[in-house]
Structure formats: C-alpha cells, structure tokens
C-alpha cells in the first residue's frame, strides 16, 4: 500500500524529525510512506478574513498540485468525523484490501481550503483541539502505525 502525507509547513525541530523518522521506519513493514512538506504562506500582520482566505487558497493550490494520481484523499480537519483507533484502522484496511493508495492532508496554520475539503473522500478529526503541525504530523504517523498493528492483530500499547 502507498500512503502519502501532504503537510503544509516543515518540521524544523530535531526531536520531532527523529520521532517522525522512527514511525516511518516502523510503517515501512506495512506500507510505502511518503511525506511531502509544502511551503506555507506567511500571513500579513493584522490579516483580514479575506487575507486568510487568499492564503488558504494559495496553500490549497500547492496541495492540489501535489496530490498523487489514483489516490483516495483524506483531509484531517477539526470538523471531520471523529473516530477511535480501531475505526481508523478499518478505514485504512478497507482501502488496503482494495489495493488503493491513500493521501492524508494536513493543512496550514489557518486550516485547509474548502476546495480541498470538497475533494476529499473522507474528512477525519483527531480532536476539536488545535495542534501544532509538527506535533500533529507525529500523531498521524503514530496512528497509521497503530492501525497497521491493529489490522495485523499484533500487540501495541493501549
């Protein structure tokens, strides 16, 4: 199975990068994982709602350009469907069984453009809370790894 993560923004802290690398290594037993970092847009001081909308649209254009062909798009957004780890595993497993590739999208500081949300086959929420992008990316790769462990009937901590 091929899994792509499109993430607006870069991981700069070594310890976040080390955690991501560890989960990439673990996931490699189950799937080919590719993480694509996309440039984020700088918001002007005292940005208006229109400025934010334009910023999200520009980031959205970068996301669209980076979406692989023949993939199922899953957008990670607070207004998405909340699910527990077994349900997340079922979601991944259903596409694995069909031989489909998955692409997860993590938006920028202001969220994800509505056009990207409309394109998505699924909108998933990990929480109504806001997380830093670098932390959320680690949370996502951990949940992907956990999903494969669940699907394989392997032990993993609760």
At residue 71, does pLDDT exceed 80?
A: yes
- Dihedral sign from CA coordinates of 12, 19, 66, 125: negative
Task: Quote the number of domains for the chain.
Answer: 1
Domain annotation covers residue 45:
no
**DSSP SS3 for 72:** strand
pTM: 0.94
Q: Is residue 93 part of a domain?
A: yes
* Domain annotation covers residue 158: no
- Whether 46 is in a domain gets the answer no
In a domain, 124, yes or no: yes
- Residues with Cβ within 8 Å of 148's Cβ and at least 6 positions away in sequence, in order, are 27, 29, 30, 31, 89, 92
| 73 part of a folded domain | yes
Expressed as residue numbers, the domain containing 129 is: 2-40+51-151
Average pLDDT, the chain: 94
Provide the percentage of residues in the chain whose pLDDT is more than 70.
99
CATH of residue 146's domain is: 3.40.1280.10
Residue 158 has pLDDT above 70, yes or no: no
Question: Would you tell me how many other CB atoms lie within 10 Å of the CB of residue 140?
Answer: 22
User: 76-110: per-residue pLDDT in tens?
Assistant: 999 999 999 999 999 999 999 999 999 999 999 89
Mapped onto helix, strand or coil, the DSSP state of residue 13 is coil
Instruction: Give 146's pLDDT tier (boundaries 50, 70, 90).
Output: very high
Q: Is the pLDDT of residue 143 over 80?
A: yes
């Amino acid at each position: 199975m091929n899994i792509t993560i499109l993430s607006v923004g870069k991981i700069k802290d070594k310890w976040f990068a080390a955690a991501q690398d560890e989960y990439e290594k673990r996931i490699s037993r189950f799937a080919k994982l590719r993480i694509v970092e996309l440039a984020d847009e700088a918001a002007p001081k005292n940005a208006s709602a229109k400025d934010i909308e334009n910023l999200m649209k520009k980031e959205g254009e970068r996301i669209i350009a980076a979406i692989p062909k023949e993939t199922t798009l899953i957008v990670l957004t607070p207004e998405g469907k909340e699910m527990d780890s077994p349900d997340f595993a079922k979601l991944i497993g259903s596409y694995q069984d069909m031989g489909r590739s998955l692409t997860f999208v993590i938006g920028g500081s202001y969220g994800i453009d509505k056009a990207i949300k409309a394109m998505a086959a699924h909108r998933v929420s990990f929480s109504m809370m806001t997380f830093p992008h670098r932390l959320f990316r680690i949370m996502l790769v951990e949940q992907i790894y956990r999903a494969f462990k669940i699907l394989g009937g392997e032990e993993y901590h609760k």
